[in-house]
Chain A
Amino acid sequence: MLKQYWWKILSLLLLLYAVTYGFYVAIPESMILQTMRNLFYHVGMWFGMFTMLTVSFIYSLRYLKGFREENDRVAIEAVNVGLLFGFLGIFTGMIWANFTWGAPWVKDPKLNGAAVGLVIYLAYIILRSSVEDRHKRAKVSAVYNIFAFVLWIIFVLILPRLAGDSLHPATGNNSTPVLPMHLDPSMRTVFYPAMIGWILLGTWILQIRVRLSKIRHLLEEL
């Protein structure tokens, strides 16, 4: 299925829909005015990152089951793409925050959690580059990756909700209804397709990276 092209075209169509209709769809009145449309794009980065980290987690588990190197390759490349999305999420968030909260970086559990989450995965990259032996590297980093995924979920998805004073919607006392489930119905018609589009785009980039990595590996063996 991944070898076919239809899902790549679907990704383009969904994102085209998101960047066009996303500017015309009716949005509820709120203090953040038109910037609410950022939800279709900024949040997509986090959906993309989370998907990539989940893929990486699964492939690290798979690696530990049979120690097959190809599983390790997917794990590292998925983290690479996940970090790309993560940094884009942070930077786009800073642009948005500058308007909504008056500064690019404010004291907020969700922001701090996201920053810690990025550091956890940067440490994964550093850990990999510090082990010379490639089998040892794959094993050590697979084990770390499993912890990293759990920590990321705690820092980004759980702790900010428990903190209770987050500026982000639907966390703690802030009950602004902007979590997907309580999202305005008209916005949902763009939000979900957009999220799928971003996830598919991430999957495509991941596929390209994995294939390149495999070619590099084969060339070393030739």
Chain B
Amino acid sequence: METYGKIFVVVAVLAVILIGIFVYLFFIDRKIGKLEKEISEKESHKHQ
């Protein structure tokens, strides 16, 4: 492992970026879920 020389610092950075991107995607996902709910509520109002 000595030949890698502190590669774990780079690995940690990559891991943080990856987690960050996934958390970001998760929030986008949730926002879309809220939009979908709003639209379906409007739809049901229209049909009443």
- Chain A interface residues (CB < 8 Å from chain B): 8, 11-12, 15-16, 19-20, 23-24, 204-205, 208, 211-212, 215, 218-219, 222
Contacts and interface: CB of A to CB of B under 8 A. Distances in A.
Contacts of A219: 39
Nearest to A12: B22
Interface of B: 1, 4, 7, 10-11, 14-15, 18-19, 22, 25-26, 28-29, 32, 35-36, 39, 42-43, 46
Contact of A215 (B25, B28, B29, B32): B32
B11 A20 contact: yes
A181 to B, nearest CB: 28
Given A20-B15, A208-B29, A215-B39, 12 more contacts: A8-B26, A16-B18, A19-B11, A19-B14, A19-B18, A24-B1, A24-B7, A204-B25, A205-B25, A208-B25, A211-B32, A215-B32
Nearest to B13: A19
Contacts of B1: 24
Contacts of B29: 8, 204, 208
A16 B7 contact: no
A12 B29 CA distance: 15
23 contacts: A8-B22, A8-B25, A8-B29, A11-B22, A15-B18, A16-B19, A19-B14, A19-B18, A20-B11, A20-B14, A23-B7, A24-B7, A204-B29, A205-B25, A208-B25, A211-B32, A212-B32, A218-B39, A218-B43, A219-B39, A222-B42, A222-B43, A222-B46
